[in-house]
A and B are shown apart, each in its own frame.
Chain A
Amino acid sequence: MRVLIVEDDPDLSRQLKLALADAGYAVDHAPDGEEAQFLGETEPYDAIVLDLGLPKVDGVSVLERWRRENVATPVLILTARGAWSEKVAGFDAGADDYLTKPFHTEELLARLRALLRRTAGHAAATLSCGELRLDPKAARASVGGEPLRLTSLEYRLLHYLMMHQGRVISRTELVEHLYDQDFDRDSNTIEVFIGRLRKKIGPDRIETVRGLGYRLVALEGEAAGS
């Protein structure tokens, strides 16, 4: 397993390198944003530990560029910035986990293990419907290349609609496939989710078929996908 550490503090970098090497990882180190950018795009890492406050280019910008360049390597953000606004920004930029300083080395190792285990398991083809794309492996969706920001229920709803695009799907069917067995089900909330999803992917992609349910369609001028 090969891991990239992006951290500008020399003492912390040394500690991290030692700890990760002890745990059996091959470790590379980038002390600033530019080098991190380059290494992340050219080397096939299994995971990246990324500091946010970096010289030259800040961590969030580096991460956003990786994701734009389709670097799918799981990224764990390791930062002193622990406010929720910063966490949200980090995840929205494409992070997979977030750890705030000061931290325990054991916790970092545990998080890294979990991250690697998670990304290893999935293998499924990308779904598309017009400009809409959904990657079940990374659990990410996008419209015209712009990443969509979905909660897990919204993602599940979109996933199910994309798997059955073009077909009318009733609310009951959606409820059954959206929720676990022990969830208390309320088919009215489906309307809420459809409304919210329409706001995020564009209102015309989901048609309401009165009395029957909903149907996902490609917009006019877009080629329908798989």
Chain B
Amino acid sequence: MTDRRAGRPRSLARRLVVLAAGWSLAVLVVAGFAMTHQFQKAALNRFDRDLSELREGLFSQAMIDPDGGVSIPDSIDQRAQRSLSGKYWQVDTLLANGSFEPEVRSRSLDEYLLAPPPRSMPIKPGKPVFYDTQGPLNKPLRVTAYLGKLEEDAQRRTLVFMAAEDRSPLDSDARRFAYTAATALVILMMGLIAAIIVQVRIGLEPLFALSRDVAKVRKGETDQVTGEYPSEIAPLADELNALLAHNQEVVERQRTHVGNLAHALKTPLSVMLAESQAQPGALAEVVNRQALAMQGHVEHHLRRARAAARSQGQRERTQLSPVIDELARTLERIFQDKGVVIDWDAPDDVFFQGEKQDLLEIVGNVMENACKWARRHVRVVAAEAGPRRLIVTIEDDGPGLPPGQREAVLKRGERLDELTPGSGLGLSIVEELAKAYEGSIRLEAASLGGLQVTITLPRAET
């Protein structure tokens, strides 16, 4: 809840995916840049090495003409002979004032001149420099220059040997590499994220399984969290089970306490009632009235205690047919003087979603009522009714109830004096219990002639 308000990621899965995706994105971006950079460096090194070869060739093959000019044999580089081919060379003289005077240059340069090394890159004898500049047709050029003197040069000129090449193929190679690398990395990235999502799903599956199991406990299909869990979650499942058991135990204990208290009061109440009824008088009358009131309270709170325990008991499920069998046997004994015969039918695979005690109370009271009013015959039929519902129909062959009175019968129990044993129909208790289970009870005329009570209750999934 607080998470939601603070806007932090609520989903564990999302958190794991975002973290892993963020990290791998960072790694891939860095790797991409590093690779591209490394590639460019390697390619440039190679390029520079080729240029250095030409430059060294210039230095080693340069000759002084008889007229004192510098000459380079045409054979030094084939490409440099074709006009604007992209491969160039040039030899300058470095004058004392620091300016450069061109001596000779390759044919490919046509009327263009190579720019000498910039001032920012001072050139020293014996140490070649590399720089970028613009060449013919505004093409980017890579240039290497070397400062040297020729032995046979009578003028002892300081010569600058420059070799240059159009570097745009190099740049486009680097760009293509960067594109390819980026595409590959994006695909890799997406694959990684997909793999992470799958991994998180599979990794968290035991948690989802646990939550499904807990839901089962709540629905009453099981009373413990069962199933095999990995060692990280198994302690949680064990703790959950311990908590469930503890809860159950506490509720049971409370219920027993309340029950014991209420039942303990019944014997003294019996004595007071019998005693006060045996000796007429003003005092006896007051005692009798108050004892009856106390009895009402005891019954009321016993029912309340059971209802409170019920919210805990939702996870229990009770097979219907043994309960009806038990009740039929018991009631036939209770009503054996009358010779009531109970004919029942219930499928074995119908389960009530709730406690056995409550089912006994609900169906028992209605069946007892039917036996009370029946001449000879009571029929009980149970069946499932649609998804998650079951119905129990109880008919008798007694006098029945006119339609107008049926509503009133359910309300009668609300008055205390109707709660004494043997009076009233006990159906109000049944309705109260059934409603606590979101069930209902309906009164109709029975095909056997008497009253038919239809009880609808929640059914547990089988």
User: Is A105's CB under 8 angstroms from B274's CB?
Assistant: yes
User: Is A80's CB under 8 angstroms from B266's CB?
Assistant: yes
Number of B residues contacting the other chain (C-beta, 8 Å)?
Answer: 43
User: Is B357's CB under 8 angstroms from A85's CB?
Assistant: yes
Tell yes or no: A212 within 8 A of B by CB: no
Interface locus among A9-17, A55-63, A165-173: A9-17
User: Is A192's CB under 8 angstroms from B263's CB?
Assistant: no
How many Å lie between the Cα of A114 and that of B336 in the bound state? Answer: 10
Contacts A80-B263, A153-B342 known; 14 new A-B pairs at CB < 8 A: A9-B271, A80-B262, A80-B266, A80-B267, A81-B263, A83-B361, A84-B327, A84-B361, A97-B333, A101-B270, A114-B337, A152-B342, A184-B448, A196-B325
Tell yes or no: A143 within 8 A of B by CB: no
Residues of chain A within 8 A (CB-CB) of B295 are: 102
B-facing residues in A71-120 (Cβ within 8 Å) = 80-85, 87-88, 91-92, 95-98, 100-105, 107, 114, 118
For the A-B complex, the count of residue pairs with Cβ-Cβ distances under 8 Å equals: 112
Residues of chain A within 8 A (CB-CB) of B343 are: 153, 183, 189
B313-347 interface bits toward A, Cβ cutoff 8 Å, 1 = contact, 0 = none? 00000000000011111101110110001111100
How many Å lie between the Cα of A149 and that of B266 in the bound state? Answer: 30
The answer to whether A151 and B270 touch (CB under 8 A), given A80-B264, A85-B357, is no
Residues of chain B within 8 A (CB-CB) of A196 are: 325
How many Å lie between the Cα of A107 and that of B262 in the bound state? Answer: 22
**Nearest 9 interchain pairs by C-beta:** A80-B266, A84-B364, A84-B360, A102-B270, A80-B263, A151-B328, A101-B266, A11-B271, A101-B270
Which chain A residue lies CB-closest to B360?
A: A84
Tell yes or no: A150 within 8 A of B by CB: yes
User: Is B329's CB under 8 angstroms from A151's CB?
Assistant: yes
Tell yes or no: A43 within 8 A of B by CB: no
Report the minimal beta-carbon distance from A135 to chain B, rounded to whole angstroms.
15
Residue from B271, B291, B361 within 8 A of A12 (CB atoms): B271
User: Is A182's CB under 8 angstroms from B361's CB?
Assistant: no
Which chain A residue lies CB-closest to B328?
A: A151
Tell yes or no: B377 within 8 A of A by CB: yes
Tell yes or no: A136 within 8 A of B by CB: no
Residue from B264, B344, B360, B377 within 8 A of A151 (CB atoms): B344
User: Is A153's CB under 8 angstroms from B341's CB?
Assistant: yes
User: Is A102's CB under 8 angstroms from B273's CB?
Assistant: yes
A binding-site residues for B, Cβ under 8 Å: 9, 11-12, 15, 19, 53, 80-85, 87-88, 91-92, 95-98, 100-105, 107, 114, 118, 139, 149-153, 180, 182-184, 189, 192, 196
A-facing residues in B254-303 (Cβ within 8 Å) = 262-264, 266-271, 273-275, 277, 291, 295
The answer to whether A88 and B327 touch (CB under 8 A), given A15-B275, A180-B376, is yes
User: Is A101's CB under 8 angstroms from B269's CB?
Assistant: yes
How many Å lie between the Cα of A80 and that of B270 in the bound state? Answer: 9
B344-363 interface bits toward A, Cβ cutoff 8 Å, 1 = contact, 0 = none? 11000000000011001100
Report the minimal beta-carbon distance from A5 to chain B, rounded to whole angstroms.
13
How many Å lie between the Cα of A114 and that of B334 in the bound state? Answer: 11
How many Å lie between the Cα of A53 and that of B265 in the bound state? Answer: 12
Residues of chain A within 8 A (CB-CB) of B336 are: 118, 139, 152
Residues of chain A within 8 A (CB-CB) of B333 are: 91, 95-97
Which chain B residue lies CB-closest to A200?
A: B325
How many Å lie between the Cα of A192 and that of B344 in the bound state? Answer: 9
Tell yes or no: B230 within 8 A of A by CB: no
Residues of chain B within 8 A (CB-CB) of A82 are: 421
Could you jot down 10 A-B contacts, CB within 8 Å? A9-B268, A84-B330, A84-B365, A85-B356, A88-B360, A91-B333, A102-B291, A139-B336, A149-B326, A151-B344
Report the minimal beta-carbon distance from B307 to chain A, rounded to whole angstroms.
13
Residues of chain A within 8 A (CB-CB) of B422 are: 107
Report the minimal beta-carbon distance from B32 to chain A, rounded to whole angstroms.
74
Residues of chain B within 8 A (CB-CB) of A11 are: 268, 271, 275
The answer to whether A192 and B330 touch (CB under 8 A), given A12-B267, A180-B376, A182-B376, is no
